[in-house]
């Protein structure tokens, strides 16, 4: 899928200079990000830290007490499992509580994507591109370590990290497979739920990783969106009729989000279900009209929702059209 070209303007030039961004990025953002100046200011600030309580290992109240004892201040969020860390004198990734698997350092946005999948304790769930395992361990938690999760990860180097995190968090109900998403259809398995947190250009996490500001390019958007369009079709082929597929990325590029989901309408009978948080997904990009129901997908913005930049689509797959599967 080709990166859409948006015309540069005097405003894009001004903002690019003021906030040290490439001008082509700003000219894009001007077309789909609300309140852009505030957005750019936020990207230059320290991101909000969140932790997800791992109820497989500890009761929430007990963990909150332990955090207080360590002088880690936190507050509740819209997810009952996620705390925002408001002040801490110790690195939250090196406490004994972290090592014991009592919590996982995870952005609120990615937890909301997992919660959108509506898993239960009997489901067979596929987690595509699973490493490092934040979403996998949360799925296991929501399933109370019952049912089965197939976590697939094609990169052998990333497998061990996934394995370690599952072990640290006390996850039992998960198989790890060293395959790519395109291979899963060869196993003749059909899943109740699929989480596809697709590899992306990651411009939604520039706050956390400032290198992304420099490495972000049109080529990366082209490469990622092409790969994502294939992965989402691979996912739709192995879901049970009526099953749920949650597609998410930490990118704000419509080519990696709405356009990828829009491409599914050609081959599959799908409906997009609404999600109770975030800004509406785009159903029009420049002059391009997309399926109207894409408004039901959601965008999370750092300056509005206090999370990473994120996209979530909750897709009910009723079946395939023609010979897609």
Partner 1 sequence: MDQKTMLRNLENDEITRLRRGFNYWGIFSYFKDKSFVLREFHTNNEIYMIPPNMKKFVHLREMYSMGIIIGILKKNFFPSLPFLYYVCKYSKSYSYVIINDHATELFLYGRNLFGTSILETSNNFKENDLVIVLNKKLEPLGLGITRFVNKQIKNNRITITNAYDLGYYLRKEQ
Among positions 176, 260, 285, 315, the unique one binding partner 1 when judged by CB under 8 A:
176
170 touching partner 1, by CB under 8 A: yes
d(CA 114, CA 72): 26
d(CA 41, CA 19): 7
Contact between residue 108 and residue 307 where contact means Cβ atoms under 8 Å apart: yes
Among positions 8, 22, 161, 295, the unique one binding partner 1 when judged by CB under 8 A:
161
Residue 266, exposed/middle/buried by CB under 10 A (0-12, 13-18, 19+)?
A: exposed
CB of 156 to partner 1, least distance (A): 6
100 touching partner 1, by CB under 8 A: yes
CB of 179 to partner 1, least distance (A): 5
Contact between residue 174 and residue 138 where contact means Cβ atoms under 8 Å apart: no
61 touching partner 1, by CB under 8 A: no
Only one of the segments 30-38, 158-166, 231-239, 298-306 lies at the binding site for partner 1 (rule: CB under 8 A); that segment is 158-166
CB of 91 to partner 1, least distance (A): 10
Among positions 109, 136, 174, 201, the unique one binding partner 1 when judged by CB under 8 A:
174
β pairing state of 148-152 and 174-177: parallel
List residues bridging with 246 in a β-sheet: 195, 314
Among positions 35, 160, 219, 280, the unique one binding partner 1 when judged by CB under 8 A:
160
For 81-115, give the DSSP string: TEEEEEE-SS-TTSSHHHHTTSEEE--HHHHHHHH
230 touching partner 1, by CB under 8 A: no
Among positions 78, 90, 105, 164, the unique one binding partner 1 when judged by CB under 8 A:
164
Among positions 78, 90, 99, 288, the unique one binding partner 1 when judged by CB under 8 A:
99
From the list 200, 202, 224, 250, the catalytic residue is 250
Residue 105 φ then ψ, to 5°:
-80, 115
Known active-site residue 250: yes
Pick between residue 133 and residue 204 the one whose CB is nearest to partner 1: 133
Q: Which of 229, 132, 141, 218 is nearest to 176 (CA)?
A: 132
Q: What is the DSSP letter of 163?
A: H
Q: How many residues bind partner 1 (CB under 8 A)?
A: 32
159 touching partner 1, by CB under 8 A: yes
Contact between residue 146 and residue 122 where contact means Cβ atoms under 8 Å apart: yes
Computed from CA positions of residues 95, 97, 100, 102, in that sequence, does the dihedral angle turn out positive or negative? negative
β pairing state of 174-177 and 82-87: unpaired
Pick between residue 145 and residue 291 the one whose CB is nearest to partner 1: 145
200 touching partner 1, by CB under 8 A: no
Distances (CA, A) of 139 to 4, 176, 244, 310, 324: 35, 14, 14, 18, 28
CB of 167 to partner 1, least distance (A): 6
Pick between residue 3 and residue 176 the one whose CB is nearest to partner 1: 176
The interface with partner 1 within residues 29-58 (CB under 8 A) comprises: 57
Pick between residue 149 and residue 202 the one whose CB is nearest to partner 1: 149
Structure tokens at 19: 């906030």
Pick between residue 97 and residue 115 the one whose CB is nearest to partner 1: 97
Binding site for partner 1 (CB under 8 A): 57, 93-94, 96, 99-100, 145-148, 150, 156, 159-161, 163-164, 166-168, 170-179, 183, 187
Question: What amino acid positions are annotated as catalytic residues?
Answer: 250
């Amino acid at each position: 899928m080709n990166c859409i070209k948006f015309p540069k303007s005097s405003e894009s030039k001004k903002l690019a200079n003021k906030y040290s961004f490439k001008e082509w990025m700003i000219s894009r953002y001007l077309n789909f990000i609300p309140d852009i100046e505030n957005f750019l200011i936020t990207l230059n600030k320290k991101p909000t830290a969140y932790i997800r309580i791992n109820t497989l290992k500890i009761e929430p109240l007990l963990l909150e007490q332990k955090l207080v004892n360590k002088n880690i201040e936190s507050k509740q969020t819209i997810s009952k499992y996620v705390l925002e860390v408001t002040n801490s004198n110790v690195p939250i990734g090196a406490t004994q509580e972290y090592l014991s698997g009592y919590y996982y350092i995870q952005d609120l946005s990615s937890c909301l994507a997992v919660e959108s999948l509506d898993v239960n304790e009997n489901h067979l769930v596929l987690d595509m591109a699973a490493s490092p395992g934040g979403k996998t361990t949360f799925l296991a938690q929501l399933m109370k370590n019952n049912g089965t999760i197939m976590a697939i990860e094609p990169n052998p180097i990333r497998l061990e990290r996934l394995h370690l995190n599952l072990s640290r968090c006390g996850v039992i109900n998960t198989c790890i497979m060293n395959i790519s998403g395109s291979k899963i259809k060869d196993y003749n398995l059909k899943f109740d739920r699929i989480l596809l947190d697709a590899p992306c250009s990651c411009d939604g996490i520039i706050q956390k990783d400032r290198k992304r500001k420099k490495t972000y390019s049109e080529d990366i958007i082209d490469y990622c969106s092409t790969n994502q369009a294939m992965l989402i079709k691979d996912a739709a082929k192995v879901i049970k009729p009526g099953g749920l597929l949650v597609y998410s990325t930490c990118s704000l590029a419509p080519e990696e989000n709405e356009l990828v989901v829009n491409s599914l309408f050609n081959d599959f009978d799908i409906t997009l279900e609404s999600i109770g948080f975030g800004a509406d997904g785009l159903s029009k990009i420049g002059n391009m009209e997309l399926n109207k129901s894409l408004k039901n997908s959601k965008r999370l913005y750092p300056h509005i929702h206090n999370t990473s930049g994120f996209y979530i689509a909750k897709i009910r797959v009723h079946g395939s059209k023609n010979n897609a599967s």
